[in-house]
Amino acid sequence: MPVDDATLSKMAQRLRRDCLESTSEAGSGHPTSCMSAAELASVLFFEEMRFDPRDPSGRDQDVFVLSKGHAAPLLWAALKEAGGIDDDLLTLRRFDSRLEGHPTPRVPWVRVATGSLGQGLCAAAGMAWARKVDRSEGRVYVLLGDGEAAEGSVWEAAEFASFHGLDNLCAIVDVNRLGQSGPTMYQHDLEPYLSRFRGFGWEAAAVDGHDVKAVKDVLARSRATKGRPFGIVARTLKGKGVSFLENKDGWHGKAVKKGEELGKALAELGDTSVAIKVEPRRYPPSRPPASAEPRVEPAYKPGQEAATREAYGAALATLARTCPQAVALDGDVKNSTFSEKFKEAAPERFAEAYIAEQVMVGAALGASTEGKIPFASTFACFLSRAYDFIRMAVYSKPSHLVLCGSHAGVSIGEDGPSQMALEDLAMMRGLIGATVLYPSDAVSAERLVETAARTPGIVYIRTSRPKTKVIYDNAEAFPVGGSKTLRSSAHDRVTIVAAGVTLAEALKAHEVLGKDGIAARVIDLYSVKPIDEAALRKAAEETRGIVTVEDHCASGGIGDAVASAVAGRTRVEILGVRDVPRSGKPDELLKAYGISAEAIVAAARRLV
């Protein structure tokens, strides 16, 4: 039942009132950034989108992503007026409120946390892609600011969306002319936005974002467009509706003062007594996508040589065949990370993101909100390109998000430092609640893929380029937070903690030290975070010191993790890369940067 334009316009005014009141009560926030988009929100929530205010799952419904996250009060207001939430809007930004300063999934209608600009469209593209995979009907709407269109990630999302033919995706840019610290690059010139959307393969149209009828019409055009996504470039005024805010500089991120100032603003909005009952509107029920418990079947022989990245690919292939909720995304290195094995087995659930790591990760996160277990893989060093996306994913609390970084460390050899991840462990350990896994042989690699697929939240798997010997039995289990003590005796004098390619060095060092009568314990720290505190503290008590050795910068990685875990219970010698590395042969580089068996032996001798 269509709502008439006058009522939608009045609802826009009501949303403005809600935003002014809630931010004034909070004493902070971005009311003017909400006011520019009030008609857009009114038409979306009360006319265009098909959704059921009682069910935030998004199943067989249209969904909405607020990419310009600082307009959170507008989202809270629209949800409240539509009957999706019953929170008191005046609790905005309070510690005891779900209505945070920027959207987080504490409110279940929020599928991904936003507030770092330029990310919403990436996630939305992932949702739209997953819906294409599932052949489910609901559309994905995303509201962006004009300022955030400066982020390159927006255009990565744009190319991803057009390349994958996501005609179930509609992006609306709220061109309100004013950024945080001044006017935007193009102010009210809509042409650059239109030509970019078109240059990136989208259908695009300009609209007066305060003209309810025009907004309805362009959304109808968007819904009717097939084969490509649709971009709406809406000319708006920041602070629209209140004379002393409207189109005025200096009002970004500033609440109107309670009392007289607020009263004046609200008076200008006029009569805002309106209610629109949102009837549940859903698409015909679609068949729930199939799912199965993730399982891998490693089948290696002891001593067999295989790179952990190859084993990662083999495990992905198994999941592709047996776990229908698994999907994979690549940054044009699938033949190096071996995620191409997934593509071979299940091309329809594989998304090529080309050399655009931000949308690769953002789209993976979006896919996770559609019930997928996404595996996004690239060289570990290039995941640093998407660090802000991974950081924000923490706040999205995804059911699953598996990131795999291959080619870790100097052991990649001749390609040189630009391709060597030496900071990925630091970056992943620095994320609250993330799981960091680091296999050392093919069996542990496959098993850790299985572990990752079963672990909620963000899981990082670090794989290596060189082949390493298989040391584990195919049936060995690798739970999160565990470790493997590979060598130990009643008279161990020193402990060596290693993972990945340095584990073989540790085992070599164990031999050398043994010949000298120094018994060394060797621990495979395959779970870098959470870390096996019990095993490490036991080693701290039973041996005179711990040598850690990692193909990573000496700061932020395994050494730090172990030193923090033992927290002073024993001496710790950290071996890691301390100088800028260069091209060379892998073994040459392990030696040159002090993470070879020889370096371990020397460090162990210093401790005993």
Sheet holding 400-406, edge to edge: 350-352, 326-330, 373-379, 400-406, 457-462, 435-437, 527-529
The residue (of 372 and 385) whose beta carbon lies closer to a second copy is: 385
Strand partners, 462: 405
Q: Which stretch binds a second copy (CB under 8 A): 471-479, 504-512, 518-526, 564-572?
A: 564-572
Q: b/e for 124-161, b at 16 or more Cβ within 10 A? A: bbbbbbbbbbbebbbbbbbbbbbbbbebebbbbbbbbb
User: Shortest distance, CB of residue 533 to a second copy, whole angstroms?
Assistant: 12
Among 150, 512, 602, 608, binds a second copy (CB under 8 A): 150
User: Shortest distance, CB of residue 528 to a second copy, whole angstroms?
Assistant: 10
The residue (of 130 and 194) whose beta carbon lies closer to a second copy is: 194
* Residues 85-114 close enough to bind a second copy by CB under 8 A: 93-95, 97, 100-102, 104, 106, 113-114
Among 352, 370, 524, 551, binds a second copy (CB under 8 A): 352
DSSP alpha helix (H) spans, 83-211: 120-134, 152-163, 191-199
Report d(CA 298, CA 498) in Å as an integer.
23
* Residues 500-559 close enough to bind a second copy by CB under 8 A: 529, 540, 545-546, 553, 555-557, 559
* Residues 36-95 close enough to bind a second copy by CB under 8 A: 69, 93-95
Residue with tokens 């809600």: 18
The residue (of 186 and 283) whose beta carbon lies closer to a second copy is: 186
- Nearest CA to 440 among 345, 525, 542, 369? 525
Helix, strand, coil in percent for the chain, rounding step 5: 40, 15, 40
DSSP letter at 210 equals T
**Using rule CB under 8 A, residue 560 touches a second copy:** yes
Among 18, 52, 159, 167, binds a second copy (CB under 8 A): 159
The residue (of 321 and 578) whose beta carbon lies closer to a second copy is: 578
* Residues 396-415 close enough to bind a second copy by CB under 8 A: 397, 413-415
Sheet holding 494-498, edge to edge: 484-487, 520-524, 494-498, 545-553, 571-577
Peptide bond into 530 cis (omega under 30): yes
The residue (of 578 and 605) whose beta carbon lies closer to a second copy is: 578
**Using rule CB under 8 A, residue 432 touches a second copy:** yes
Indicate which residues carry an active-site annotation.
357
**Using rule CB under 8 A, residue 128 touches a second copy:** no
DSSP letter at 90 equals G
Among 563, 575, 595, 604, binds a second copy (CB under 8 A): 563
Report d(CA 256, CA 262) in Å as an integer.
6
**Binding residues for a second copy, how many (CB under 8 A)?**
118
The sign of the CA dihedral 536, 537, 539, 544 is positive
The residue (of 3 and 608) whose beta carbon lies closer to a second copy is: 608
Report d(CA 139, CA 170) in Å as an integer.
8
Among 24, 136, 153, 596, binds a second copy (CB under 8 A): 153
The residue (of 325 and 570) whose beta carbon lies closer to a second copy is: 570
**Using rule CB under 8 A, residue 585 touches a second copy:** yes
User: Shortest distance, CB of residue 155 to a second copy, whole angstroms?
Assistant: 5
Among 168, 222, 308, 336, binds a second copy (CB under 8 A): 336
Q: Concatenated DSSP letters for 222-245? A: HHH--SS-EEEEEE--TTTT-TTT
Among 85, 233, 327, 381, binds a second copy (CB under 8 A): 381
**Using rule CB under 8 A, residue 273 touches a second copy:** no
The residue (of 419 and 485) whose beta carbon lies closer to a second copy is: 419
User: Shortest distance, CB of residue 479 to a second copy, whole angstroms?
Assistant: 20
* Residues 298-327 close enough to bind a second copy by CB under 8 A: none
The sign of the CA dihedral 269, 270, 273, 276 is negative
Per-residue binding string, a second copy, 445-484, x by CB under 8 A, is ----------------------------------------
Among 589, 600, 601, 603, binds a second copy (CB under 8 A): 589
**Using rule CB under 8 A, residue 163 touches a second copy:** yes
The residue (of 7 and 247) whose beta carbon lies closer to a second copy is: 247
**Using rule CB under 8 A, residue 608 touches a second copy:** no
HSE toward the beta carbon, residue 109, CA cutoff 13 A? 28
User: Shortest distance, CB of residue 416 to a second copy, whole angstroms?
Assistant: 4
Report d(CA 29, CA 89) in Å as an integer.
13
Report d(CA 149, CA 162) in Å as an integer.
17
User: Shortest distance, CB of residue 283 to a second copy, whole angstroms?
Assistant: 31
The residue (of 184 and 451) whose beta carbon lies closer to a second copy is: 184
Q: 308 — phi, psi (to 5°)? A: -60, -30
Report d(CA 235, CA 188) in Å as an integer.
7
**Using rule CB under 8 A, residue 184 touches a second copy:** yes
Report d(CA 437, CA 531) in Å as an integer.
10
Report d(CA 450, CA 431) in Å as an integer.
22
Burial label for 222, CB within 10 Å (0-12, 13-18, 19+), is buried
